[in-house]
Structure 1
Amino acid sequence: MATNAKTRKAARYAVPVAVAGVAAATVAMVPAFANSGSPDLPKVTAQQLIEKIAASDVQQLSGSAKISTDLGLPTLASGLLGGGGVTGGSANPGDKIAQLANGTHTVRVAADGPDRQKLTFVDGKDEYSLIHNGADVWGYDSKANEVWHEKDTEGAAQGKDRQGKDHKKTADRMGGAAPQQLAQDILTAAGPTTDVSVGDTAQVAGRDAYQLVLKPKHGGSTVGSVKIAVDAKNGVPLRVQLLAAEGGKPIVDAGFTKVDFAKPSADTFAFTAPKGAKVTEGAAEAGKGGAGHGKEFKGLESFPGLDALTGGADLAGGKGGETKVLGEGWSTIARIDTGGGKSLKDIENDKNAPKEAKQFLDSLGGKVTGKFGEGRVFKTRLVNALITDDGKVYVGAVTKDALVKAADANK
């Protein structure tokens, strides 16, 4: 499915409504969030529904959303995503974004065009707010009374045209992780390996909606389907669900519980640091190499101990690693030759091996063998990785069998 001008327009003007990761991104919803009936709507084709999404120019809204993620992570990974994976103060947005890769989160949202958004994460009596207002981005942790601040003067000057910049500031990431933008990214990525259809109608946050359904045409992917609930009147994506091929509750389910498309009041986006609050300047910390700013959960390379297995290679495709892309579409696998490091057997048998390396090995799944040799599989409900004994990594949103087959064919 080719990306047309309307799709690009919708991606450019998409209104941020919630931070989702996939991200990570990287959610089984409460009953109030589920379908409350199948409204009788005029029939539409998949192409007509895609065009409706692309034509939507809604830029103002407010409401509440729920984001839940069930990746089936091992204990080690789950602990890191629970808040220990990013440092630099409790008000740093990176920490909150990382936490969205695990559990269920309630978020109040407001947006008024590309330069004013507000997300408030609610956790009992405590709140964390992330506010983008023109040239300023603020993060505020009410429990710790800590404030994080970043100047976005370049983004404010360029407005929505800054989407093409290589370096994305916090304000850009707020937009890029929204359900609207998430839907656009999925539609853009859908190609000849995808079946696209219109599913049952639904009600989301009290709004009648169509459901666009995307499914892999071929086996081997961990993804069963992606469902995008689209507002029947204005074409705004109200919910995105990522369903596993193995069944069970959704891997990711992000969308509105309440939504109002009226213009929020201007004071919604106003913020002044409370008296006595600790204020950290994000850009200043980044310039000094300060802890935490700019860190994002990138996947396997963020786990302690993996560097001991790979000789310090950067699994994101940087230092030391040579990456080759195998397959296409939903079955794409990245083959990373780390170029060094001890074998898994060496780590297992070495009494002096780093504790973190042992913990990482314990978090992996069972051993696998094939023509490639031996290895271990790091398994989640979405992304799986095969780490071979000779220092190669095969990773993708595919099954264990697909990883072994790829390793055998590309040893």
Structure 2
Amino acid sequence: MAPIDSDDNRTAGEGEEPRAGRRKAARYVVPVAVVGVAAATIGLVPALADSGDPDLPKVTAEQLIEKIAQSDVQQLSGTVRINTDLGLPDLGGLESGLMSGGPGSGGDGEGSAADPSAKLTALVSGSHTLRVAADGPDRQKLSLMENAAEYSLIHNGKDVWGYDSQSNEVYHSTAPDGAERPEKDVPATPKDFAEKALKSVDDTTSVTVGGTAQVAGRDAYRLVVEPKQDGSTVGAITVAVDAETGTPLKFTLTPASGGAAVVDVGFTKVSFAKPDASTFDFTPPAGAKVTEADEAGAAAKAPEQGRKAEGDLAKEMDGLKVIGEGWNAIATFDTGARGGLPTGAEGGDLGDLGGLGGFLGSFGDQVKGDFGSGTVFKTRLVNALITDDGKVYAGAVTKDALVKAADAAK
């Protein structure tokens, strides 16, 4: 942990209000980018909590981070609301169509509609309500409530069950002893997001205590994380920390450009009482289609074009390098392709996408520099430059920062 500058003893009330701000490769790239690239490293600037409402004892930022790290809540239940607004263009249902035809999607695709690797990717956009429960390392349950349907992921001992009520499909796998909640790569609770954001520390970030708040009826401190560097698209990360248990109750990431939060995840109800044992019981309903993980794995080996593309991407990611540090870190790799985005034309280096490349290109900004020319694709947080000679530069940084990095690498 970076040393603390003891000369800085500002309180949250003295000008410290926060500004408004690879699965592994393709499948989880968005959620990992949001909390991995955007908040790669964190340093400490001490500050004291002000006497806001509720009135809580003063703590320093370091003490509050230690409180999170030392929190050992094993039992809880509650309701979590997730809102994600990356500012992605409306593809008119194209995204959901691609997802529904992919591996693990069920229906006309291979695998099961209850496979968590397909289901939980829904959390990367829009608004979602989750019911969560935990009783130690061997029992967890997460239920995604959508349009009068429910998807549940239950870990009970060695069994992991996924159930999709809409399709009446069940996915079953076996977890090793002591395994934590399955599909941990997809953050789903405030604690998941906070742990990723606070994973490492250095001097590229200001961390202060920004007063107090009430979340889900609980008294909490507000930990405010902001980049010191220019060029980041991140404005601030705010974590509401339960004053009694140290459990993160709410995680909010606001962009430097202002406006609504990019990611806002918080409990609307929470209890730290032991959940009833029956919460984690599951028996496949009558008539449900049950898919074992081994069967789904065999189906995923079919020589489908989409899977080949994903495999190609994974190989390309092997050459990934990181330019810069902290909030300005930029991931870069060479696809080996030439001619920019794939257009579906014969001989396209990145494969035939049926014209999808040209369609996606219409959402990008054409840029030029010492590196040559390329296209920048922007969201409210993560931006990516794809050059015409096949190189990719991506990070939670501005368009100008991407062009500058490409020029420097030339």
Contact 1:81 1:102 in 2 (8 A): no
Letter in 2 for 1:87: P
Does 2:67 correspond to 1:52? yes
Unaligned regions of 5+ residues in structure 1, if any?
A: 4-18, 27-36, 164-169, 293-301
Q: Aligned ranges for residues 333-348 of structure 1 at < 5 Å?
A: 333-344=330-341, 347=343
1:135-284 correspondence runs (5 A): 135-152=158-175, 155-156=176-177, 159=178, 171=182, 173=184, 177-284=188-295
Change beyond 3 A, Cα 1:50–1:93: same
**1:101, distance to aligned residue in structure 2 (A):** 0.6
> Within 5 Å, which residues of 2 pair with 1:45-124?
45-76=60-91, 79-80=94-95, 83-84=99-100, 86-88=102-104, 89=106, 90-124=113-147
| Deviation sequence 1:301-333 (CA, Å, 0-9, x none) | x9x8x96xxxx99445x2486322100111101
Deviation sequence 1:349-390 (CA, Å, 0-9, x none): 98997322222323x312011111111011111111001111
**CA distance in structure 2 between the partners assigned to 1:261 and 1:288 by the alignment:** 41
Equivalent residues of 2:366, 2:375 under 8 A apart:
yes
Report the identity percentage: 55
Local SS of the residue matching 1:171: coil
Give the letter for the 1:355 counterpart: G
Say whether 1:128 aligns with 2:151: yes
Residues in 2 aligned to 1:370 and 1:95: alpha-carbon distance in whole angstroms: 39
Q: Supply the distance in 2 between the matched residues of 1:188 and 1:43 (Cα, whole angstroms).
A: 24
Q: 2:388 is aligned with what amino acid?
A: D
The aligned counterpart of 2:404 is 405
Question: 1:14 maps to what in 2?
Answer: none
Going from structure 1 to structure 2, the CA distance change for 1:2 and 1:381 (only over 3 Å counts) comes to same
Structure 2 CA distance for partners of 1:24 and 1:198, relative to 1, 3 Å: same
**What is the Cα deviation at residue 86 of structure 1?**
4.1
Rounded to whole Å, the distance in 2 between the matches of 1:208 and 1:283 is 46
Task: Describe the shift of the 1:175–1:382 C-alpha distance in structure 2 as closer, same or farther (beyond 3 A).
Answer: closer
What number of residue pairs does the alignment pair up? 356
Q: Label 1:219 to 1:81 Cα distance change in 2 as closer, same or farther (>3 A).
A: farther
Residue 227 (structure 1) shift: 0.7
Secondary structure, aligned partner of 1:248: coil
The secondary structure found in structure 2 opposite 1:322 is: coil
**What TM-score, normalized to structure 1?**
0.78
Q: Distance in 2 between matches of 1:192 and 1:394?
A: 24
Contact 1:71–1:251 under 8 Å retained in 2: yes
For 2:229 and 2:202, the matched residues in 1 are separated by: 12
Counterparts of 2:247 and 2:346 in 1: how far apart (Å)? 55
Over 3 Å counting, the alpha-carbon distance change for 1:377 and 1:127 in structure 2 is same
Question: Which one-letter code corresponds to 1:103 in the other structure?
Answer: G
Counterpart position of 1:322 = 319
Residue 44 (structure 2) aligns with: none
Query: Structure 1 residue 23 and structure 2 residue 32: aligned?
Result: yes
Q: Aligned partners of 1:77, 1:399: CA distance in 2, in Å? A: 27
Aligned-residue RMSD, C-alpha: 3.2
Tell me if structure 1 keeps the 8 A contact 2:383–2:398: yes
AA in 1 matched with 2:119: K
Q: Which residue of 2 aligns with 1:299?
A: none
User: Could you list the runs of 5+ residues in structure 2 that have no partner in the other structure?
Assistant: 4-27, 36-51, 107-112
- Aligned equivalent of 1:356: 356
Aligned equivalents of 2:359, 2:247: Cα separation in 1: 44
Q: Once the two structures are superposed, what CA deviation does each residue of 1:116-149 show, in whole Å capped at 9, x if it has no partner? A: 1111111232111111111111111112111111
Distance 1:97 1:329 in 2: 28
Give the aligned partner of residue 297 of structure 1.
none
Q: Name the counterpart of 1:7.
A: none
Structure showing the higher helix proportion among its residues: 1
